[in-house]
Chain A
Amino acid sequence: GAVVSQHPSWVICKSGTSVKIECRSLDFQATTMFWYRQFPKQSLMLMATSNEGSKATYEQGVEKDKFLINHASLTLSTLTVTSAHPEDSSFYICSALPDGSWNTEAFFGQGTRLTVV
Chain B
Amino acid sequence: DAKTTQPPSMDCAEGRAANLPCNHSTISGNEYVYWYRQIHSQGPQYIIHGLKNNETNEMASLIITEDRKSSTLILPHATLRDTAVYYCIVRAPNSGGSNYKLTFGKGTLLTVNP
Q: Which residues of A contact B (CB under 8 A)?
A: 1, 4, 6, 31-32, 34, 36, 43-46, 49, 51, 57, 91, 93, 95, 97, 99, 101-111, 113
Contact = CB atoms under 8 A, between A and B. Distances in A.
Interface in B60-101: 87, 93-94, 97-98, 100-101
Given A44-B44, A107-B46, A111-B43, A31 B97 contact: yes
Interface residues of B, number: 23
Residue of B45, B46, B93 with highest tally of chain A CB at under 10 A: B46
A97 B93 CA distance: 13
A42 B98 CA distance: 24
B44 A43 contact: no
Nearest to B43: A108
A32 B98 contact: yes
Nearest to B47: A105
Interface string B33-49: 01000100111111001
Interface of B, helix, strand, loop or mixed by DSSP: loop
Given A49-B101, A51-B97, A105 B46 contact: yes
B25 interface: no
Given A105-B34, A111-B41, A34 B94 contact: no
Nearest to B100: A97
Contacts, number: 62
Contacts of B34: 105
Interface of B: 32, 34, 38, 41-46, 49, 87, 93-94, 97-98, 100-107
B93 A103 contact: yes
Contacts of A103: 32, 93-94
A105 B46 CA distance: 7
Given A43-B107, A102-B93, A105-B49, A110 B101 contact: no
Contacts of A106: 46, 100, 102
Contacts of A111: 41-43
A86 to B, nearest CB: 19
